[in-house]
């Protein structure tokens, strides 16, 4: 509806300009009657009309999630803006208006017609985000159309739902699969881990910890791949279930460090307690190797429980 209203407004404005131009022609009346409109006058009319069209500022048609929405699914992995006109590639400006801004997990991209701008993100539950589009304070290249007309500043605000709303976390999560194969192809590696952890958390809530644990650590199951697996921690710092190093199960792991001395498991637990979910970077050897590799692990607190599920990926 908003898209139609914007288009109607633009058409109405252009009609008004045409009417004004015609009124200007009518004033070219000599005492003997109407003069014949000459080619130079026609050219002036066309130039004036073209100037008006070329200098119409682009507008935001819609946001996803909608502006001022207050129950956004925190598992939403992409946010986007739809514009009234094609925008120039490589020109964009989004900044935070307050302390919270979504964690960017992928490079921003325009659609093929350059009217939609989208970026992959990680959202935290129960968090209010306020973004400034084309803020006047920004010195970066701003959103602008092919004619160089710059979009006016627009504020974009939305709030995610909390942990108690697990039933609405993701419509793509089902009892039998994490995502459809088609959806997997377009997800980033980080988003695959996020969905995997949330699916494991949902399994714990549905089947109970003991039953879900056996499924999660199964080497032939969907949570275990060549370089990635899900393990379970408790918020008091105990390793509850690890598919690769079962000798750690039911042991306190807060003081485990990588070769650089980083207490990465402690950091993961703190993120789960304070923020609900997040990422930690550290160094760790791949399965079956001694050489250190760079690794990032995502932790997700299972709502209303003392458990958190984790999954990591190597980045080198």
Lowest mean per-residue pLDDT among 14-18, 204-208, 217-221, 286-290: 14-18
Closest to 74 (Cα-Cα) out of 278, 290, 227: 278
With H, G, I as helix, E, B as strand and everything else as coil, classify residue 52.
Answer: helix
Per-residue model confidence (pLDDT) at position 252: 94
60-162 under CATH 3.40.50.300, yes or no: no
Residue 52 has pLDDT above 70, yes or no: no
Going by pLDDT thresholds of 50, 70 and 90, the confidence category of residue 207 is very high
Per-residue model confidence (pLDDT) at position 176: 35
Summarised one tens digit per residue, pLDDT across range 276-316 is: 899 999 998 887 788 899 999 999 999 889 999 999 988 88
Q: Domain 170-314 in CATH: superfamily?
A: PAS domain (3.30.450.20)
DSSP 187-244: S-HHHHHHHHHHHHHHHHHHH-HHHHHHHHT-TTSTT--SS--EEEEETTSEEEE-SS
Summarised one tens digit per residue, pLDDT across range 268-281 is: 999 999 888 999 99
Rounded-to-integer distance, Cα 106 and Cα 162, Å: 24
Tokens 């022609």 found at: 25
Per-residue model confidence (pLDDT) at position 100: 74
* Averaged pLDDT for residues 53-73: 85
Lowest mean per-residue pLDDT among 35-39, 69-73, 149-153, 164-168: 164-168
Residue 4 has pLDDT above 80, yes or no: no
* Averaged pLDDT for residues 97-113: 77
């Amino acid at each position: 509806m908003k898209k139609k209203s914007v288009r109607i407004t633009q058409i109405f404005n252009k009609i008004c300009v045409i009417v004004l131009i015609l009124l200007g022609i009518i004033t070219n009346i000599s005492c003997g009657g109407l003069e014949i409109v000459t080619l130079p006058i026609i050219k002036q009319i066309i130039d004036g009309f073209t100037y008006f069209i070329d200098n119409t500022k682009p507008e935001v048609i819609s946001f996803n999630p909608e502006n001022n929405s207050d129950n956004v699914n925190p598992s939403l992995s992409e946010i986007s803006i739809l514009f009234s006109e094609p925008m120039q590639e490589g020109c964009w400006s989004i900044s935070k208006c307050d302390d919270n801004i979504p964690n960017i997990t992928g490079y921003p991209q325009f659609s093929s017609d350059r009217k939609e701008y989208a970026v992959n993100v990680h959202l935290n539950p129960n968090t209010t985000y306020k973004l400034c589009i084309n803020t006047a304070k920004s010195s970066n290249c701003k959103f602008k159309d092919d004619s160089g007309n710059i979009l006016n500043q627009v504020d974009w605000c939305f709030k995610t739902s909390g942990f108690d709303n697990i039933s609405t976390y993701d419509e793509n999560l089902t009892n039998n699969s994490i995502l459809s194969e088609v959806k997997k192809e377009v997800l980033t590696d980080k988003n695959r881990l996020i969905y995997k952890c949330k699916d494991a958390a949902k399994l714990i809530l549905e089947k109970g910890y003991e039953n879900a644990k056996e499924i999660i650590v199964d080497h032939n199951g969907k949570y275990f791949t060549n370089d990635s697996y899900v393990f379970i921690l408790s918020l008091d710092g105990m390793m509850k279930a690890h598919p690769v190093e079962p000798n750690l199960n039911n042991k306190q792991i807060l003081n485990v460090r990588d070769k650089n001395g980083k207490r990465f498991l402690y950091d993961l637990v703190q993120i789960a307690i304070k923020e609900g979910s997040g990422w930690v970077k550290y160094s760790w050897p791949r399965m079956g190797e001694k050489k250190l590799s760079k690794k990032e692990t995502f932790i997700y607190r299972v709502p209303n429980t003392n458990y958190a599920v984790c999954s990591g990926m190597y980045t080198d």
